[in-house]
Every structure is written in structure tokens, then in C-alpha cells.
Amino acid sequence: MRTIPAELVKHYEAEGWWTRDTLGDLLARGLEAAPDTAFRVHSSVRPWSGTFGEVEHTARRLAAGLRARGVGSGDVIAFQLPNWMEAAAVFWASALLGAVVVPIVHFYGRKEVGYILGATRPRVFVTAERFGRMEHQPDLYADVPVVGVVDGNFGELLADEPMPGVLAADPAGPALIAFTSGTTRDPKGVVHSHRSLGFETRQLAGLYPPDRGRQLTAAPVGHFIGMVNAFLIPVLDGTPVNLADTWDPGQALALMASDGLTVGGGAAYYMTSLLDHPDFTPAHLAHMKYAGLGGSSVPVSVMTRLAELGITAFRSYGSTEHPSVSGSMYTAPERKRLNTDGNALPGVEFRLDEDGEILSRGPDLCMGYTDDALTEAAFDEDGWYRTGDIGVIDEDGYLTITDRKADIIIRGGENISAVEVEEVLLAMPAVAEAAVVAAPDARLGEHAAAVVRLRSGHALPTLDEMRAHFERTGMARQKWPEELHAVAEFPRTASGKIQKFHLRKDIAVRHDGE
């Protein structure tokens, strides 16, 4: 893990940004204060309705069962589950045990899951028998000592009596490892402490308007922000949890009408898919007062569209490593909310280096990566994190992201490693060289576009042939390229590197002409 300068630690503690509370402490207090708060899962395959107290009872029974199996403070508990009640029970049980939780996005394929389990070596892994394309694969986690399967043996892990209290853990120690695709060929394991995650939860909760309404969370709880929004902020605030295990804009619109729920933002796609759905009517706007957008590129055209409908839209910027770097308050001037990514959030500092790259630090910055080499490359001795993003700062201190140095595509809030996708493309017989870049997407912000140089005598594969190839590799479908182009030669630097900014520009021009 990175070394955090002593003066920063002192400062964060003096300001009350870092406390002695563990994640288990925060959850236990919040759950005790609001046991009757509603907790609902809106699902066609596994609906559930109950209260915080009922979910906590299951979580404490699971904690007791795992403790009887030798699992305790500092041990690693991984889970790959959809937005179900059992996901909350596993997460809360892990926190109460003082364990390190590893949430895995439910649509990750065999390749990604195998890598994550190998990198973290959990004592416990909980998954589902089947959900969509995800299925129970016993051979994949044969080396994990304790495996629980929802709709299988999950109930056998629950003790008869719930575990009381919270097991002690070091607030400065690891609490969560969140995996995110980046510029490396495998997902990056980002390690957060109890204090960084606790601060992020309080900070993010402070950004939300007090009259935001009852939120529907469809972002996967295997994602960092989905998990915080689903399982931490509502407990801190004592507000109801409403989960959806798939994103269906028609279902979301129906729940607005029947249950008075609201969708308050996330990736731009969540809002545009609602507005573009045939069931959308002006009556739904009463449940769409606010839209806090981030997680991927947010076109100004989308922000303007929301504003013209009377929705108070605001943007924020962060990453799994540093979740909340900047953001506009919902009360900020409209021109700032619509056109910038906000100013520095409480406790956070950012600056630009000589190349315009954004460097940040703050109480919610992670401890580092599971890969020491990545940690060494990304953090300096003064506590600054190299974000890989390029930005500008205006005269009022508002930040706007203008480009990314990091070679990733952010599709609807999901990071896609270009390197990882390129390696799969290079396994196709026709492909001599491949480059994957971000292409504009009106719904998702971006999607992956593949540009290839073909081997002599080979024709450009069709999209269907390429999809069949990716299907055979087991890579998550969200990462597959959604368009395919061929070039005779790539634009290159003097040292021979492909100049991807030229490819991105050419593809953007094509989209503008469509």
C-alpha cells in the first residue's frame, strides 16, 4: 500500500474526516437507528420486500455462521451477486465481521472472475446458481474454503442465532477491494480502508438534495458507486432501499407511477434511456427533479436537454481510486452545473501538472492497488494520485475533464480496458494489429470501437463473426467492440506507437456525419 504523509493523516483526523469508526461500526449504528426502514428488490426472478432489520438479521446469522467456520477480522470475503437482498446481507455481514469485502460485478465473465479470485484469495465466495449469463461454476472457485450459492447452499451458511455486536478491526486497514478495468490487461484491484470508505459515504450523501425522493438503484452493487448508493448511504440516512436487478427503463417508469420512486442520475445513459422510452410522459418529470451525472462522459447536449425539461442537473468527477474528486452542488449556478465537472469537494485537493494531467488527493483516496507496481506508478510521496485524465480549471476553481491519458473506454459507467479487448482481437486469424478506442454513443456516453490492420489475403470479419469470437473467449459482453473498421496502416509516433487520438478523431467525425 502507498505511504500516506503523516501531516495529511493528522489533518484529516483533526478535521473529523477520518475517525476511529470501522465500516461495521457505521452500519451497526445506522441499522439500529432505523430497523423498520423499507428494503425492496424489484425483480422478475427474485423479488423481495422487507425491512433493514430483517436484512440485518440475515446478515448477522451469516456473520455468525462464517465466524463458526473460522472467518473473522481481516479475512477476505468475495461475492458476485445481482442487486438482491442476499448481496446486502453478504456486504453487511462482511463489515460486521471486520472482513475485507470484494464485490464483483455480476456480468463479469469467467476470465475476470478467475483473475479476481486469484488476486485476492478469499476465504469465502458467495454467488448465485444462475442469473442471466452468470452461472455457478464450481471448478472456478474450487480452492476457496467456503462457497455459498444463493438458491443452493446459502441457507446452510446461516447460523441459528445472529452474531451480536461488531468485531474489532483497524480503521486504517483494508475494508474493500474494488476491481475496475483500466489500462492494464487485467482488472485493477483498488484497496479502500474503513476510513476512506466511511468518509466517501458521508461526503457523497452530503451532495444529494434533501428532497431527492426515494431512489431506485439499478447500478450493479458489484460496482463501487452502486454498492455505496445501495448499502451504505441509505443506512447512514435512514432512507428506504429500492433495488432493481436489471436496468429496464420501462420498469423504472412504471415504478415511478406505482411506487413514487425516482431515478436520480448515475451514468448519462440512465437518464436518456428514460426520456427516450415510449412509456415516458411529462407526468414522470415530477419524479425526476434532480440528475447527478458522472461515471462516464456527460455530453453537454444531455445536460442541456435535462435542464430544458426542468430537471436540475449537475455533474461530478471521480474514479474507483478517488471516488469523489469534484462535483457541483445542485444549488450551483446553472452554467457551472451544465458545463463543468464541479469544484473540489470537502477535504479534496486537485491540481494540474505541466501536461494538464489532473493530480488529486483527499480523505476518500484509496490505499493503493493489489499490484504494488501499479501503486508505485500512480501515487507520489506527497500523497498525490495521477488520475490519467486531462482537464482545465476555470477562474472559479471549477474543473472540466477534456481528455483521458488512460487508455480506457467508459461505457455507461463501466470501465473497459482497451488492452484487454485488443488481445482478444489479435487472436482472430485475420487480424495483424488492433487498436480499440472510445466512440461516441448517444445513450451510453461511449462504446468500444475496434480498428484493425488485416493480414495479407484476409477480409475484414463481419460484426457477427467478431461477436462469435468474443463469445468463445468468455469475455463480458459489455466489453465487446460495437463497431469494426479496417486501416491499411495505423498513424504512428516516431517510436512506432499507434496514435490513438487520430483514430478517436476519425471515428468521431464518422459519427458526426451519420
CATH of the domain at 413: 3.30.300.30
In-domain check, residue 350: no
Rg (CA), the chain: 23
In-domain check, residue 256: no
> Can you give the pTM of this predicted structure?
0.85
Query: Rounded CA gap, 83 and 259, in Å?
Result: 18
In-domain check, residue 298: no
pLDDT at position 383: 96
Q: Residue 478 pLDDT more than 80? A: yes
- Is-contact 158 272, C-beta < 8 A? no
Task: Assign 122 a pLDDT band (cuts: 50, 70, 90).
Answer: very high
- Strand, coil or helix: what is 85? helix
In-domain check, residue 170: yes
- Strand, coil or helix: what is 50? strand
What would the grid cell of residue 164 be?
Answer: 451480536
Query: Rounded CA gap, 243 and 366, in Å?
Result: 27
pLDDT mean over 334-343:
94
In-domain check, residue 66: yes
In-domain check, residue 447: yes
Q: Residue 482 pLDDT more than 60? A: yes
Q: How many domains does the chain have?
A: 2
Grid-cell match 432505523, residue found: 34
Among 226-230, 277-281, 295-299, which stretch is predicted with the lowest mean pLDDT?
Answer: 295-299
In-domain check, residue 313: no
pLDDT tens-digit series, residues 258-289? 999 999 888 787 888 899 899 999 999 999 99
CATH of the domain at 223: 3.40.50.12780
- Strand, coil or helix: what is 18? coil
* CB hemisphere CA count around 459 (13 angstroms): 4
The number of residues in the chain equals 514
Domain limit, last residue, from 228, 246, 264: 246
Tell me the residue range of the domain where 448 lies. Answer: 408-512
Strand order in the sheet with 241-244: 48-51, 38-42, 241-244
pLDDT at position 394: 96
Query: Rounded CA gap, 413 and 409, in Å?
Result: 9
In-domain check, residue 340: no
pLDDT tens-digit series, residues 164-208? 999 999 999 999 999 986 545 678 999 999 999 999 999 988 888
pLDDT mean over 467-479:
93
Q: Quick one: CA torsion of 334, 336, 337, 340, rounded to 10 degrees?
A: 150
